[in-house]
Amino acid sequence: MKGSYDYYKVFGFNRKFKITERRPPPDVIDAFSLCTNRELQMSPDQFRRFLMEFQGEEDVAIDDAKQKMEQALHHFRPNFTRCSFTIDDFFKYLFLDDLNGPITSQVHHDMTAPLQHYFIYTGHNSYLTGNQLNSDCSEVPIIKALRRGVRVIELDLWPNSSKDGIHVLHGRTMTTPVDLYKCLKSIKEHAFVSSPYPVIITLEDHLTANLQAKVAEMVTEIFEDVLYCPEAGGNDEFLSPDALKHRIILSTKQPKEYLESKLDSGEEELFGVEETPSDLKNETATEEVLSKFVAIDFDDEENEDLENEKLGQKAVVKYNQLIGIHTAKAKNGLRKALRVGSGRGKRLSLSEQTLERAASLYGTDLVRFTQKNILRVFPKGTRVTSTNFRPLAAWMHGAQMVAFNMQGYGKSLWMMHGMFRSNGGCGYVKKPDFLMNRGPNDEVFDPKATLEVKITLRVKVYMGDGWRMDFSQTHFDAFSPPDFYTKMYMVGVPGDVTKKKTRIIKDDWIPIWDEEFTFPLTVPELALLKIVVREHDVSEKDDFGGQTCLPVSEIKTGIRTVPLHNKKGDKFDHVKLLMRFQFE
């Protein structure tokens, strides 16, 4: 710290650089002085004043303020005897992200609305360890995703080479398979480590009826009563995340044989996939219904082929009963599929290109569809290196499941991480009311509409620290301290997109910028503030120094510490920015 130096050898000569002492910026000193009436110590009551007047926290009890001070003092002065802050203690407190982070760590959204009212943290090809063509399939990325808070896991099911078992792999590629049983066991063991809210397993099913029967047995054995199955004659609405706590839900297409039997009976289709008759969901009625569908005499022991067919049909019905969310197909055109009819809600999947075209042609139909049903959007097939698309267009149209390759990394994935830091990181984020509401003439939100500025976010970047502990001294520059700058990107509806940049601070491990920026916002509910620190390099590409993405609707006002993450989204141990946020 003060008086210490770094030495770098350049062409046989030693260059000497002083390490800047970490000092509180003027705003921090002013806040301390104002709350303490220029005294040298801050009492719990004075700290309470700071929390309420500067940090925007309401109704802070004196005991809560004192407890927070004691927690902070335990971090940097474990043997303290008096609960009070010096200016240095106060400054150190501000850098503790577990006590002074930029967003709340608690679930605080209403969790009692139906599932379609929420954005849901969704994985794509959740079993892949790398690219889409020849990487290994494993349960490990599934476990990592669940522990990060992902609530939708995708499994592609294919027969093994002998057609008597089930593999999980990316079909028609050179990816090496993993056994389904291993994947399901891992889901059961890790489903609720990071969140108590439901895990949805989306199955891409390429199996025969016999193998579907094996899936039914496997799922029943592993998940037992944790598996959610819709009740016969139940409500058309999806249940809420709160009602489905600690439950696992299967979502897939209905079995082909089951659908064929229904077509023979003249049942009506919905979205290209038929509704399930309520009596099929009643186990006691299974034999009666099956005999109606396939005209089998259950007492006839003379016809072995028909008996096998009966058993196969029974297995198909059992498999169908385990599906908690049925998928839909745009069988007769997407526009028709988006028309909301009566009956139980469905899940429809669209590629990112199809979503883009649909948004261009009939965006309000998408919004209306997602008020009743679940829309899943997945990456296009050409993303062979497991990159991802920008998720904002899908969210703007109400898509609940924006499926991402969680094993990859990149700017789009940073946005996904940012969105699902909301609501305590539980994996479910309540959609803005405007995406669920209808006007007096049944009109819905139009994503193409030009909107007025609703609120302005004012951001001040004070300083940064921690790179000395998390990076080697020569990581950024072999012969001098780094030259850091911060870039901020506002991501959201097209009218809100903008970027800002601080000046470059030369040769300093503790850069002090003390610069302020404003971001006018028309739809703050969908806005994300992406923050990236880079190290300027004259001759090569600027080095990466950390990133994070914050949901604007969750940002807490006041002077906050903002921890930064690496390119894959893992938080650094020490790298942080000190910033101030204000809404006007």
The residues annotated as belonging to the active site are 124, 170
Q: How far apart are the first and last CA of the chain?
A: 38
Which residues lie below 8 Å from residue 537, measured CB to CB, with a gap of 6+?
A: 477, 483, 543
CA 526 to chain centre: 14
Cα distance between residue 526 and residue 521, in whole Å: 10
Name residues whose C-beta falls within 8 Å of residue 34's C-beta, 6 or more positions apart in sequence. none
| Cα–Cα separations (whole angstroms), residue 236 to 72, 112, 258, 317, 399 | 50, 16, 21, 20, 19
User: Helix axis angle, 209-223 relative to 304-321, nearest 10°?
Assistant: 50
Q: How far is 248 from 191, CA to CA, in rounded Å?
A: 8
Report the 10 Å Cβ neighbour count for 38: 8
Pairing state between β 571-583 and 455-465: antiparallel
**Is 399 buried (19+), middle (13-18) or exposed (0-12) by CB count in 10 A?**
buried
Residue-wise DSSP of 470-514 = HS-TTSS-SSS---EEEEEEEESSGGG-EEEEPPPBPS-SS-EEE
β partners of residue 555: 103
